[in-house]
Structure 1
Amino acid sequence: MNMLGKTLSAMAIGAASLTPLMVTSTYAAPATEQVATQNLVKQLSGIQSLTANFEQTTKATSKAKNNKALTAQHMNQSFKGVMHVQRPGKFHWQINSPVKQTIVSTGRTVWIYDPDLQQAVRQNLDEQVANTPALLLSGNTAQIQQAYRISQPDKTKTYYTLYPKNKEGAFQSLTISFGAKNAPTLMILEDSLGQTTHVRFSNTKVNAKIPASTFNFTPPKGTDIIDQ
C-alpha cells in the first residue's frame, strides 16, 4: 500500500478500541442505525470548512504481523501535518514530517505529490476515491449514507463507527469522535491488511474561511505525472 492508501485510508476501528477514551462505567444503549445515521448527518452538516493539525500513527495488529507482504516500515509509521477541508469534496492534506507529501482534492481531481520522488499521481474523484475516509469530512452526506452502514455505540456520546458497504475497500471500519463546537477530535481506522491507524486532530477551527487557492495544485516543473 502506498502512502496515498496510508493517508486517505488512514483514519477506523470498532468501538472496542475506543473504550478507554470514550466509554464510562455507566452503560448507555446504542442508537438504532436510523438514529445514528441522522445524528452523524446532522453533525457533519454543521461543518462547511475545517482546518486542523493532525498526528497520524499506524501500528500492526497480530493479523498484520502475520502478513508477509508487510515490512516493519509498513507496520509502524507516524506522520504529522496540517489538514484543510472545504465542502463539497475539497481537501488539502499536507504531511510535513518525517517526510513530505501533499494530497489535494479539487472536488473533481485528486493529486498525490511526493517532492522527494518528483512525482505526482493524478486521479479522478470517482466513487472509489470518494469512499475513502479523508473525504468523510468534506463529502456529500447523501453519498456518505449510501457508502457506509453507520452505528452510534453509545447514544449519549458523539462518536460513530462506519462500515463500508463496499467490502473491497482498503479499510474495514472507521470510527470518528467529535468534541466541542462540532470539531472532530479523533479518527481510528482498521484496514484490510490488519493495521490500526489513529489520527488525532488539534488546533481545530470549524467554519473558518479558507483561501480558494488552498485546493489548487500545479505540479512543479520537472515533475513526473502519473495518471491513474
Structure 2
Amino acid sequence: MLKIIKIEENLMKKIIVSLCFLKILSSAVELNEIQSFEAQFIQTLTSQNEQILYEGEIYIQAPSNALWRYTKPIPKDIYIQESISIIYEPKLQQAIITNIQENLNILSLIQQAKKIDKNTYEAKVAGVIYTILVQDGIPKEITFIDALENKIHIVFKNIKLNTLKNENIFDFNPGSDIDIIYN
C-alpha cells in the first residue's frame, strides 16, 4: 500500500511539473500570450508493460492557477494555486494539501526548452526529459519517464485558448465532511 501511495505521490509531482512546463512552453512558442488553457485529456501511464488510462479535463489560468479534473478511472481533482497543490479525492472524502517546492523554477523551464524540430520541444528538469508536441503552435501532447521508470503520455483534445470565464473553478471549497491532510 505504501508503494502505491508513493507511486501516486511521485506521479502527482510530475504532473505538476508538466503543468508548469506546459504553461511556460505556451509562452515560449509565442501563442499570442495565452491567458487561459482548457482541454480534455487522456493520460496513459505505462509501467512494466501494464497501462493505466486516466481521462479528464484541465484548466489553466495565468499566472499560476490550474485544475486537473480526473473523471476516469476514479474522480480526483488536483488544484494548483501559487505554491500549493491540493489533491481532492471525493470517494475518499479527503484532500491532501502540499507545498510545491521541488523543481518548479519557471525561468529554468523556459531556458531549458529547446526546439527539436518544427513541432517538437524538449526540456530536462530534475533528470526528467519532457517532450512536448505542438501543432499549429498549440501544445497537443506531453511525454516523459518519471523517476520510477513509468512512461507518462498526455494527449490534449478540444483545446480552448483564452476563453475561461469561471475563475472560481480554481477555488477549493471543501465541505465539513472532508478530511484535510497537510503534507
2:21 alignment counterpart:
none
Q: CA deviation at 1:76?
A: 2.0
Instruction: Say if 1:40 and 1:160, in contact at 8 Å, map to a contact too.
Output: no
Structure in which a larger fraction of residues adopt strand: 2
Residues 38, 4 of structure 1: alpha-carbon distance in 2 compared, 3 angstrom cutoff:
closer
2:121 alignment counterpart:
160
Q: CA deviation at 1:173?
A: 1.1
Could you list the per-position Cα deviations for residues 122-141 of structure 1 after superposition, in whole angstroms to 9, with x for gaps in the alignment?
122x431736xxxxxxxx5x
Q: CA deviation at 1:98?
A: 1.2
**Pair 1:102-2:77 in alignment:** yes
1:84 alignment counterpart:
59
1:176 alignment counterpart:
132
**What SS does the aligned partner of 2:113 have?**
strand
Letter aligned with residue 138 of structure 2: A
Compare relative contact order (CA 8 Å, sep 6+) and give the higher one, 1 or 2.
1
Instruction: Say if 1:120 and 1:226, in contact at 8 Å, map to a contact too.
Output: yes
1:215 alignment counterpart:
170
Instruction: Say if 2:26 and 2:139, in contact at 8 Å, map to a contact too.
Output: no
Q: Report the RMSD for the aligned CA atoms in angstroms.
A: 2.8
Instruction: In structure 2, list runs of 5 or more residues that go unmatched.
Output: 1-5, 18-23
Letter aligned with residue 75 of structure 2: K
Could you list the per-position Cα deviations for residues 203-227 of structure 1 after superposition, in whole angstroms to 9, with x for gaps in the alignment?
0001113311011001222211111
> How many Å separate the matches in 1 of 2:7 and 2:148?
13
**What SS does the aligned partner of 1:213 have?**
helix
Instruction: Say if 2:109 and 2:123, in contact at 8 Å, map to a contact too.
Output: no
Instruction: Say if 1:10 and 1:198, in contact at 8 Å, map to a contact too.
Output: no
2:156 alignment counterpart:
201
> How many Å separate the matches in 1 of 2:149 and 2:134?
25
**Pair 1:127-2:88 in alignment:** no
Residues 201, 127 of structure 1: alpha-carbon distance in 2 compared, 3 angstrom cutoff:
same
TM-score, length of structure 1 as denominator length: 0.66
Stretches of 4+ aligned residues off by more than 4 angstroms: 37-40
Q: CA deviation at 1:193?
A: 1.2
1:24 alignment counterpart:
none
Instruction: Say if 1:58 and 1:196, in contact at 8 Å, map to a contact too.
Output: yes
The percent identity for this pair of structures is: 25
**What SS does the aligned partner of 2:30 have?**
helix
Q: CA deviation at 1:109?
A: 2.3
Larger radius of gyration: 1
